[in-house]
Structure 1
């Protein structure tokens, strides 16, 4: 459990320190996290990934799809980097 909390905080810290480059993606990730937090007491990085995949699959707007893809890519890269540390 502690590892999950550490990983989540590392992912959150990564996006908070990413500057303006990921502003839209950060907003999407925050919205997914908030939506999941209403349904669950504990939201893991896997939950966020699944939430982004769900949005990506259900979205028809190609611009929003691209934003979801980029957000998903950043979450996966961050999770991968944190697990290799």
Structure 2
């Protein structure tokens, strides 16, 4: 029984690590997109892009990633570097 729990726990850790990476990737992708368009790259612009993506996304998993990425950006302090 203990072995099953440790295996499930490890799977959960891997999923969590993957989700964090995915959220980081989305934020990085948005930063690049904003930069290429010549727009300011700041938390407000990143949040606006994430909200745009959330409004049109139909995939539940992607929506969760966008929502979690938005939460990450919202909870940064103003003096945190992007």
Give your verdict on TM over 0.5: yes
RCO higher in structure (CA 8 A, sep ≥6): 1
User: Structure 1 stretches of 5 or more lacking a match?
Assistant: 1-18
How many residues are matched?
A: 64
Larger Rg: 2
User: Structure 2 stretches of 5 or more lacking a match?
Assistant: 1-16
Q: CA RMSD in A?
A: 2.1
TM, length-normalised to structure 1: 0.65
The CA deviation at 1:66 is: 0.3
Structure 1 or 2: larger helix share? 1
TM, length-normalised to structure 2: 0.67
The CA deviation at 1:78 is: 1.2
Name segments (4+ residues, structure 1) moved above 6 Å: none
